[in-house]
Structure formats: C-alpha cells, structure tokens
Amino acid sequence: MQSELQRDKLKTIMFFLFPSILGLLLFSIIPIIASFLLSLSKWDGLTRWNFKAGVPNIVGFGNFKEILTDAEFWKVLGHTLYFIVLYIPLILFSSLLVANLLNNDFKGIVAYRVFYFLPVLTSWVAGALVWKWVLSPLYGPLNEMLRFIGIKGPGWLQDAAWAMPGIVLASIWKDMGFFGLIFLGALQGINIEYIEAAKIDGATWWQRLMKITLPIISPAIFFVVVICIINSFQLFPQIMIMTEGGSAGPHGATQVMVERIYKYAFKYFKMGYAAAYSWLLFVIIFGFTTLQMKLQKKWVHYDE
C-alpha cells in the first residue's frame, strides 16, 4: 500500500520533471558522454561517423598524452595562473570595497547599487570593445590619466607582458558589481549587535573588520573565490574580442584553455584533441575546487 502510494507520487514527480530531464539529457548528459568518447578519438569534425570505416578513429589516451607533452599546454596554463594571481586579490578587494560603500544608507543608494550592477548586465562584446579603447596606449583615457600623474602607461593589449593585466582590468570592471552584490547581502546579514558589543568593548575599526566582519562573511568569500577560480579557467569572451588578432594577444600572450579548445575544434579541425583539452580543463577545475573544499575548514566559519 505504502509503496503503491510512493510509486504514484514518483510518477507524478517524473511527469513534471520530464521536460527538464529531457533538456538535461539532450544538451548536457549526452554531450558530456559524447565529448568523453571524442576525447579518446581522432576526428576532424567533418567526416560522417562510420565505425566500420574507423571514423572516428579511436586512439585511447593518445590525445591526452599529446597535450600534456606539448609545451603549449603548460604555457597556456601559465597564462591562466597569471590571470588568477592578478584577478582574485583585485576582485576580492574591489567587490568588498563596493559592498562596503553600498552598505550605507543615504539618498539615492538604490541608484548607486544599480549603477554598479550595470556592467554585469552589459554584453561582453560591447564591454570589451569599450575596454579596447580605454586601454589604447595613445588614445585611451587610462594612459591619459597615468600620464597626468607622471607615469608612462604601457602598451597594454599590444605588449606581451601587459596584455593579460589589461584583460584583468576589464574583467574586474565587469564582475565587480556581481560579487559586490553577494558581499552586500552577506554584510547585511551581520547582526548589528555583534558590532555594537565590540564597539563597547573598545575594539578598533581594524579589529572589528578582522575579527568580526570578515569571519562572519567568510562563507560568502569562499563562495566568491570558488566561482572566480572556475570562471578564470573558463576565460573566453574578453580574450576573443580584446586580443584576437588571429592568435590571441601579442604573439599568443593571452592564449587560454577555452580559447585553445575553440581553435582546435573549429579552426584546426581537431575535435578529439579539443575534447581531450576540455576534459583536462574539467579535471583541473574539479581538482582546484576539491582542494578549496578541503582548505575551507581552516578559514571559513559557519554559524552553528
């Protein structure tokens, strides 16, 4: 009787879930399985599959071996790490700052909150084009400002060493509002009594920040760091628009993993190689995220 009832319930659930499960199957699960099979093969992306004729040609883990032994992969990984090292501290600092500014109560605060969120809603295509101009060494406002304070600005996107920092700046502008909003939510969740109690006990502003505010919002910080690292590995639109002159940056200084995957799959006709590349990307992201999950015990505080 009980199981009959449960079965009926399950049926209803399945009925309603069916449309989204179908979508998940067709557009996620099946492609994931297919991409894994592809990663074990050599396929040019044009020839029709015909297993009897050996299309695609199964080569086992050959693609993975080829990628990992090619200097290019490590160079590309280095570019991503360069991005992360610059991006994570800057985005944490700037979005915390924004959150703090927006956590005030004055006239028009809602308008400010909207303004900071606007870049998030802006399409990367438009944003990246504007940033290309901002970063132009001769005509851009950024170098103009630097000149004003006596600094000779670099060639940003035209200079191999400065192209990635240029990309970082644009990414900060784009993402600051989103992560600022998350931090704002966390800040507003802090019970004001904690702060007041600390004030009465004579804690300085710095002590309150380090001992109360940051620990309380540490779950939000953790979330932001995890998302940021995942996003960093998947860096793509800003690279393609800002530094795409056929080769991603001044002699390839902004080549990153997703950009490579795209090139290998759709420009070089190496679908299997590209699929293997994307599985490596998955492994790396999975690894980093697991590591962070482990490390969080050391610094993330959850309310009991």
Partner 1 sequence: MKRIVNLAVTAMVMFIFISTVTAGGKQEAPAGGTEKVVTVDYTNFSGSGGNAKFLEQMKETFEKQNTGIRIKIKTVDFGNYFIQLQTKIASGSAPDSYELNYENFITYAKKNVLMDLGPLFKKSNFDTSMLNKNALNAFRADGKQYGLPESYSTVLLFYNKDLFDKAGASYPADDWKWADEQRAAEKIRALGKNIFGISHPIQFWEFYKVVQQNAGSLLSKDGTKFTVDTPQNVETLQFMVDRVLKSNVMPSEKQMAGMGDWDMFKSGRLGMIVTGIWAFNDFTKDCKFNWDIAVEPGNLNKATHFFANGLVINKDSKVAGAAFEWVKFMSASKEAARIRVDAGWELPASTYPEVMADYNSKTPPANRKAVFESLNYLVTPPVVEQMSEMTDILNLQLQAARDGDKTPAQALADAQKELEKKIKLK
Binding positions for partner 1, rule: CB under 8 A: 7, 10-11, 14-15, 18, 21-22, 44-48, 132-133, 135-140, 155, 157-160, 246-247, 250-252, 263, 266-269
Closer CB to partner 1, residue 50 or residue 104?
A: 50
Least distance CB 202 / partner 1 (angstroms): 55
- Is the CB of 57 or the CB of 100 nearer to partner 1? 57
To the nearest whole angstrom, how small is the minimum distance from the Cβ of residue 173 to partner 1? 18
SS3 254: coil
Q: CB nearer to partner 1: give 15 or 148.
A: 15
User: Is the peptide bond between 165 and the residue preceding it cis, with omega within 30 degrees of 0?
Assistant: no
Q: Which one, of 126, 133, 111, 240, lies nearest residue 174 by Cα?
A: 126
Smallest separation (angstroms) from partner 1 to the CB of 266: 5
Distance CA 56, CA 78 (A): 32
Rounded least distance, CB 118 to partner 1, Å: 24
Tell me how far, at minimum, the Cβ of 85 lies from partner 1, in Å.
22
In the complex with partner 1, which residue's Cβ is closer, 144 or 196?
144
CA-CA distances (angstroms) from residue 33 to 26, 28, 102, 281? Answer: 11, 9, 45, 15
Alpha-carbon distance 73 to 76, whole Å? 5
Question: Which residues make beta-bridge pairs with 50?
Answer: 55
Residue 297: burial class (beta carbons within 10 Å; 0-12, 13-18, 19+): exposed
Closer residue to partner 1, CB minimum distance, 8 or 196: 8
Q: Which spans in the chain are helix H?
A: 2-24, 30-39, 62-68, 71-102, 109-121, 124-134, 141-148, 163-188, 192-200, 205-208, 214-233, 237-242, 257-266, 271-299
If the CB atoms of residues 48 and 297 are measured against partner 1, the closer one turns out to be: 48
Q: How far is the CB of 31 from partner 1 (least distance, A)?
A: 13
Cβ atoms of residues 176 and 158 within 8 Å: no
